[in-house]
Structure 1
């Protein structure tokens, strides 16, 4: 059974390199680029 997906609601910036902020989720401990947290509209698909 897979764990539920994390929404990454609680994050902290852990590093900045070349103008990119890296954040860590305080719940699941995943590290990713801050810009990956930007909401993406589902209706912006190419047709």
Structure 2
């Protein structure tokens, strides 16, 4: 009985560890130049006024 519970615990632990890994391949960063950042700021400010 102890061995069955130990095996179940090990299986559940391995599932928890394997599901926590970040397998997303999206590592691209979006670089904004100062002009794009200023335009985005102005756009959000105009939306807040309206």
TM range (shorter): under 0.3
TM-score (norm 1): 0.22
Whose helix proportion is higher, 1 or 2? 2
Larger radius of gyration: 2
Q: Larger RCO: Structure 1 or Structure 2 (Cα < 8 Å, ≥ 6 residues apart)?
A: 1
Whose strand proportion is higher, 1 or 2? 1
